[in-house]
Amino acid sequence: MSSVRAIAEELGVSVATVSRALNNHPGVSDEMRRRVLQTADKSGYKPSVGRKPTNVIGLAYPNEPVKADLGAFEAALLAGILQGVSERRFDLTFLNVHRDKHADETYEQFFNRKGVRGVIVRALDDNGLAEAIANDGFPMVLVADRSDDPRVNYIDSDSRDTSRAAVDHLIGLGHRRIGLAIHRVSDSDHRDREAGYREAMQRAGLPVEESFIVRAEASPEGGAMMLLRLLDQPNPPTAIYFTNPLSTVGALHRCLQLGIRVPKDLSIIGFDDSDIRLRTYPQFTAVCQDARSLGLEAARWLTRTLKGEASGTFREVRPTTLAVQESTAFPPVAAIRVEDNTRIVQVI
Spatial contact of 25 and 16, defined as CB atoms under 8 Å apart: no
Specify the long-range contacts of residues 206-211, CB closer than 8 Å, at least 24 apart: 206/171, 206/176, 206/178, 209/177
The tens digit of pLDDT for each residue in 287-320 reads 999 999 999 999 999 999 998 888 889 999 999 9
pLDDT at 72 over 60: yes
What pTM does this model have?
A: 0.77
pLDDT of residue 51: 44
DSSP 33: H
Secondary structure tally for the chain: helices H, strands E: 12, 14
Residue type, 22: L
CA–CA gap between residue 93 and residue 84 (Å, rounded): 14
CA–CA gap between residue 129 and residue 98 (Å, rounded): 10
**Around Cβ 283, how many Cβ atoms within 10 Å?**
16
CA–CA gap between residue 294 and residue 204 (Å, rounded): 33
Q: How confident is the model at residue 66 (pLDDT cuts 50, 70, 90)?
A: low
The residue count for the chain:
348
* Cis ω before 53 (30° cut-off from 0): no
- In the beta sheet, which residues pair with residue 179? 240
Which of 41, 48, 40 is CA-nearest to residue 6? 40
pLDDT of residue 98: 86
CA–CA gap between residue 109 and residue 201 (Å, rounded): 49
The burial class, CB within 10 Å (0-12 / 13-18 / 19+), for 41 is: middle
DSSP 276: G
pLDDT at 261 over 90: yes
Phi and psi, residue 345, nearest 5°: -130, 155
Q: What is the mean pLDDT of the chain?
A: 88
The tens digit of pLDDT for each residue in 138-175 reads 899 999 888 889 999 999 999 999 999 999 999 999 99
